[in-house]
Amino acid sequence: MKTAIVILNWNGQKLLEQFLPSVINFSSQEATIYIADNASTDSSINYVKEFFPSVKIVENAINGGYAKGYNDALQNIDADIYCLLNSDVAVTQNWLTPIIDVFKNEEHTAIIQPKLLDYKDKTKFEYAGAAGGFVDLYGYPYCRGRVFNHLETDTGQFNDEATIFWASGACLFIRANVYHQLGGLDEDYFAHQEEIDLCWRAQNRGYKVKYVGASTVYHVGGATLQETNPQKTYLNFRNSLLNVVKNVPKKWFLFVVFSRLVLDGIAGVKFMLELRPIHTWAIIKAHFSFYKNFFKFLKKRRVLQKKQNYNLHTSVVWQYFALGRKKFEELK
């Protein structure tokens, strides 16, 4: 299968210097490597041209964020499989083979994520996707190996293959025809959680999302926006609400939306008590943006079916904060 590894870049020369060599060393025989540049103003592109002439470059006209950046670039890349790879990811030997094998053998599997470990502590799963993601009753995302900020140690407990609800945008494989059939990533998200929406829409079309634990990559995480950055808080809260409006089945819609407004308010109070008011303000701004976009996203809704992996009986917030269940296997 013709595979394209596409690394989105914006003023990221230092990251490319650190991580691009591993991608070339462990991938160049099996895939074509592309840099999709979001109108960088540093010397990223000149650096790649000089030191890695085999890497192809697609130059986007503007910095449209993660979603538009990939949408624009992938219009110009011919492949059967796209790998959307963050610039702060180190790959490992033979990481592609298990994933391509699943695509070859499972025609209804459209999206795949490998095992995502922490580059800074390779014994731990990484926040952005760990061993594959799910969404709870209220639309909050969590992962096998990561529930909120609790990261599990990798002891081989997720060396399996599993059907999941969403794959991390840090390293997401998708069939090219499915990507374009879905219309790509929703550019209104700009960045964060647009991959959850993409996976949700793929499942609404009858496709599967899978995790393949035989493939491992290491992700730095927070290289673009640190966890303490209020912009990250803003995008995560806003985009999670947009996911709910766009994708939650009709019979649960009003209940979930109202519950989320209450729970997000509690989160804002929690940030205030932790003396982090800037994050409380980020949540308030997220809600104003959500209200502004509410009717726009109502129009984006499709006829949805209840999906097996949309967990309508689990509140990860309640289990984590009230019951102290911090590992995926402890969730009921």
Per the rule left: phi > 0, alpha: psi between -120 and 50, beta: everything else, 132 is: left
Q: How confident is the model at residue 144 (pLDDT cuts 50, 70, 90)?
A: very high
pLDDT for res 152: 97
User: Which tens digit of pLDDT belongs to each residue from 194-210?
Assistant: 999 999 999 988 999 99
Residue type, 232: K
pLDDT for res 212: 98
Domain range enclosing 142: 88-332
Please check whether residue 35 lies inside any domain of the structure.
Answer: no
**14's tokens:** 């230092």
3-state secondary structure of 219: strand
User: Which tens digit of pLDDT belongs to each residue from 79-104?
Assistant: 999 999 999 999 999 999 999 999 99
Whole-angstrom distance, CA of residue 274 vs CA of residue 15: 33
**What mean pLDDT is reported for the chain?**
93
Whole-angstrom distance, CA of residue 186 vs CA of residue 182: 10
Whole-angstrom distance, CA of residue 32 vs CA of residue 103: 17
Instruction: Provide the domain count of the chain.
Output: 1
pLDDT for res 312: 62
Annotate 100-142 with DSSP letters as a single string.
HHHHHH-TTEEEEEEEEEETTEEEEE-TTTTT-EEE-TTS-EE
Q: Quick one: average pLDDT of 151-174?
A: 97
pLDDT for res 253: 87
Asked if 179 and 197 count as a contact pair (C-beta separation under 8 A), the reply is no
pLDDT for res 262: 95
Q: Which residue has the higher pLDDT, 222 or 240?
A: 240
pLDDT for res 305: 55
Please check whether residue 161 lies inside any domain of the structure.
Answer: yes
Q: Which residue has the higher pLDDT, 312 or 170?
A: 170
Please check whether residue 93 lies inside any domain of the structure.
Answer: yes
pLDDT for res 310: 65
pLDDT for res 28: 87
Query: β-pairing, 141-143 with 133-135?
Result: antiparallel
Please check whether residue 17 lies inside any domain of the structure.
Answer: no
Please check whether residue 320 lies inside any domain of the structure.
Answer: yes
Please check whether residue 22 lies inside any domain of the structure.
Answer: no
pLDDT for res 160: 98
**154's tokens:** 């990798």
Q: How confident is the model at residue 314 (pLDDT cuts 50, 70, 90)?
A: confident
User: Which of 21, 7, 166 lies closest to 92, judged by CA?
Assistant: 21
Please check whether residue 231 lies inside any domain of the structure.
Answer: yes
Please check whether residue 44 lies inside any domain of the structure.
Answer: no
